[in-house]
């Protein structure tokens, strides 16, 4: 009796579906537990200790376990595809079926197409090396916006990375076939966007001009929000926060530094210099010409800071521009200067910014 090498393709796919479903259930349980903990009135040192343990360790462990199951499911699908191809090429039993149970694909089977680039982004090319996800790579100053007007998305994504870098690590991964999957949310439910490891020449980069995690996130966002980079050319940070985190975002209006500080303690915050999309890009009524009109910024901190204009310590807000490098310092051909990062008093903030938006990864 001869030996048989291989596996039943249908059973592999069924196992992949079960493993994937288990990962999604674990992810859902984590979200449910987070919500229950947030709503449970538990005061005192025991409550504070458990909440700290949950946020620092337990929640991340569940996320990683969920991601591991989804990785395993992707590997099973890859093996099923390879087995099916081998069996078919050898005139053996073959079969057909779905190559992925993830929306938009899970890293196997047919690769997704590339979203059409925005004007000026250039042609697609392979990503220039590995994508690091360490602290330096996820630092919100380590970005340089490309040739698409998605500051609203980059400011939200960068703010999330600055507030909770582990969230980014848990929500993007490279698949066995080289593609990347980014886990977004639609109406609070997971939505997996798979993209090829290619990006337009003038997509978002890191501060040194290299492809980075945002290059992949930006491409996935173009798919998520419509299928083309034009679909992310303009938007609002609250939509980005909800797509990235799955949690409700709030438009605080102009707000004030105390309120922004309170929200910043709980999660990422982005601010914008204009919320009237009927105005031309340079028609914003900003007070300081170092601030970019009709633009979104990340909030890095609200704290007591030495005002460089007066030498006195007072409450100020630190905002970061996603233009880059290192936050966006830019001197134009006409000598005009745009701040990459700037500390502002409350009045200076109100003179230049019109809306603050909250996000949450809890």
Pick the closest to residue 242 from 322, 186, 197 (CA basis): 186
Question: Which residues lie below 8 Å from residue 242, measured CB to CB, with a gap of 6+?
Answer: 185, 248, 249
Antiparallel, parallel or unpaired: β 313-320 and 124-126: unpaired
- Tens digits of per-residue pLDDT, 171-208? 999 988 889 999 999 999 999 999 999 999 999 999 99
> Distance of alpha carbon 34 from its chain centroid, rounded?
20
Neighbours of 139 (CB within 10 A): 18
- Is the pLDDT score of 302 beyond 70? yes
- SS3 assignment, position 142: coil
Pick the closest to residue 203 from 131, 276, 269 (CA basis): 131
Q: For a pLDDT cut of 90, what percent of the chain falls above it?
A: 55
Q: Enumerate the β-bridge partners of residue 297.
A: 271
Residue 148 near residue 233, CB atoms below 8 Å:
yes
- Cα(102)–Cα(193) distance, rounded to whole angstroms? 8
**55, 140, 148, 229 from 201: Cα distances, Å:** 38, 21, 12, 13
pTM: 0.70
Q: What angle do CA 216, 219, 225 make, to 5 degrees?
A: 135
**126, 139, 285 from 329: Cα distances, Å:** 28, 16, 21
Pick the closest to residue 220 from 202, 240, 235, 247 (CA basis): 240
- Cα(129)–Cα(132) distance, rounded to whole angstroms? 9
What value does the mean pLDDT of the chain take? Answer: 81
Q: Highest-confidence range of 97-106, 112-121, 245-254, by mean pLDDT?
A: 245-254
Q: What angle do CA 354, 360, 362 make, to 5 degrees?
A: 165
> Distance of alpha carbon 341 from its chain centroid, rounded?
21
- Mean pLDDT, range 61-67, rounded to an integer: 68
- Tens digits of per-residue pLDDT, 303-319? 999 998 899 999 999 99
- Mean pLDDT, range 235-245, rounded to an integer: 96
- The pLDDT score that the predictor gives to residue 279 is 43
Pick the closest to residue 263 from 358, 352, 137 (CA basis): 358
Please tell me the least confidently modeled range out of 38-47, 132-141, 195-204, 291-300: 38-47
Antiparallel, parallel or unpaired: β 341-345 and 337-338: unpaired
Neighbours of 19 (CB within 10 A): 19
Residue 219 near residue 276, CB atoms below 8 Å:
no
Structural domains in the chain, CATH included, are 1-101 (1.10.287), 257-358 (3.90.70.10)
- Is the pLDDT score of 98 beyond 50? no
- Cα(9)–Cα(283) distance, rounded to whole angstroms? 60
């Amino acid at each position: 009796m001869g030996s048989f090498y291989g596996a039943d393709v249908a059973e592999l796919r069924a196992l992949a579906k079960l493993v994937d479903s288990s990962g999604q259930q674990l992810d859902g349980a984590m979200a449910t537990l987070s919500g229950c903990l947030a709503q449970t009135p538990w005061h005192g040192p025991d409550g504070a200790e458990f909440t700290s343990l949950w946020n620092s360790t337990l929640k991340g462990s569940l996320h990683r376990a969920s991601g591991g199951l989804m990785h395993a499911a992707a590997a099973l699908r890859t093996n099923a595809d390879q087995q099916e191809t081998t069996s078919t090429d050898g005139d053996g039993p073959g079969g057909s079926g779905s190559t992925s149970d993830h929306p938009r694909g899970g890293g196997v089977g047919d690769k997704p197409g590339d979203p059409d680039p925005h004007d000026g982004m250039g042609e697609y090319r392979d990503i220039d090396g590995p994508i690091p996800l360490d602290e330096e790579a996820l630092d919100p100053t380590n970005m340089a916006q490309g040739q698409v007007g998605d500051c609203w998305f980059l400011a939200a994504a960068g703010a999330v990375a600055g507030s909770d870098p582990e969230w980014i690590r848990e929500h993007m991964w490279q698949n066995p076939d080289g593609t990347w999957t980014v886990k977004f949310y639609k109406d609070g439910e997971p939505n997996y966007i798979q993209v090829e490891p290619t990006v337009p020449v003038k997509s978002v980069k890191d501060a040194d001009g290299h492809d980075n995690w945002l290059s992949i996130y930006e491409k996935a966002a173009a798919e998520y929000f419509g299928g083309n980079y034009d679909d992310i050319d303009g938007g609002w940070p609250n939509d980005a926060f909800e797509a990235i985190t799955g949690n409700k975002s709030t438009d605080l209006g102009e707000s004030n530094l105390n309120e922004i500080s309170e929200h910043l303690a709980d999660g990422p915050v982005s601010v914008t210099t204009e919320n009237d999309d009927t105005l031309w890009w340079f028609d914003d009524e900003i007070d300081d010409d170092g601030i970019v009109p009709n633009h979104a910024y990340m909030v890095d901190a609200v704290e007591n800071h030495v005002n460089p204009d007066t030498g006195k310590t007072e409450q100020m807000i630190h905002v970061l521009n996603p233009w880059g490098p290192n936050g966006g310092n830019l001197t134009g051909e006409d000598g005009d200067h745009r701040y990459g990062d700037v500390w502002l008093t409350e009045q200076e903030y109100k003179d230049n910014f019109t809306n603050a938006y909250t996000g949450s990864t809890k």
